[in-house]
Amino acid sequence: ILNVEQSPQSLHVQEGDSTNFTCSFPSSNFYALHWYRWETAKSPEALFVMTLNGDEKKKGRISATLNTKEGYSYLYIKGSQPEDSATYLCAYTYSGTYKYIFGTGTRLKVLA
Amino acid sequence: KAGVTQTPRYLIKTRGQQVTLSCSPISGHRSVSWYQQTPGQGLQFLFEYFSETQRNKGNFPGRFSGRQFSNSRSEMNVSTLELGDSALYLCASSLAVYSHGTDTQYFGPGTRLTVL
C-alpha cells in the first residue's frame, strides 16, 4: 500500500516566524510531487509541482524542495502571516498511473 | 475562466438511498478525478476519467461509480448509502495534455454529503 505521510499534523506559529513541514513518500517509481494549500471553506489550491531530484520551487514567501532518492519534500514558509493559515497537502504520483496519493496534511495556524 | 463547479453543495440522505453528484470541469480540461475526504483522512482517490473512459480506480466498493460525458462533465453515484459515506466529495479537473502525473489539478468546492 502506497503511503504519503506528512508531519507535523498541526502546528501553531507566531506571526513573523518561519516554519517548515515534511512530506514523505515512496522513493520507488516516483513521478511527481505536488503541494496544495487548502484554506477553510475554499477549494484546495495548487502551489507547486516538482519532478526532479533536487528541485526547488518558490512562490513569494513559500518555497519547497524535493529529494526523490530518500523520498521526502520540505515546504518552507518564511515570515508567516495570518493569511498563511491553512492545511498544506502534498500528493505523490508514480509511474504508470493516473492516481494522486494525498497525505493527510499539515494544519498551520498563524497567530497574530 | 470559470472554475470547477460541483452540484449540489450540500446533501442529506438516509441509509439505503442512492445519490448522484455532478462536476463540471474547467473548459478545455479533459480529465476529472473524484476524491472523498473524511475527518482524519487525507483525500482518498475514488476514480479518474479521461475522454469518457475510467482510467484508474481507487479502493472503494462497487457502490461507488462514475461516468464522464462527451463535454467532460462527470457524475459520481453512490448506491445503498451507508453512514460511513458521510464525507466531503471533491472533484478536480486537469488538462491532461501530456502526462496526468504532472498536471496541476484544479479542485471544485466539494459536495458535503450527510447520511442519516
With contacts defined as CB-CB under 8 Å, which chain A residues touch B30?
none
Q: Which residue of B has its CA nearest to A91?
A: B43
* Residue for grid cell 482510467: B55
Structure confidence at residue B99 (pLDDT)? 61
Q: Which residue of A has its CA nearest to B5?
A: A43
Three-class DSSP labels, chain A: CCCCEEECCEEEEECCCCEEEEEECCCCCEEEEEEEEECCCCCCEEEEEECCCCCEEEECCEEEEEECCCCEEEEEECCCCHHHCEEEEEEEEECCCCCCEECCCEEEEEEC
**One digit per residue, pLDDT tens: chain A, 112 residues?**
678 999 999 999 999 999 999 999 998 889 999 999 999 989 999 999 999 999 999 999 999 999 999 999 999 999 999 999 999 999 999 877 778 899 999 999 999 9
Please answer yes or no on whether B48 and A42 come within 8 Å at the CB atom. no
Residue type, A3: N
For residue B70, give the DSSP letter: T
Among A49, A51, A103, beta carbon nearest to B104: A49
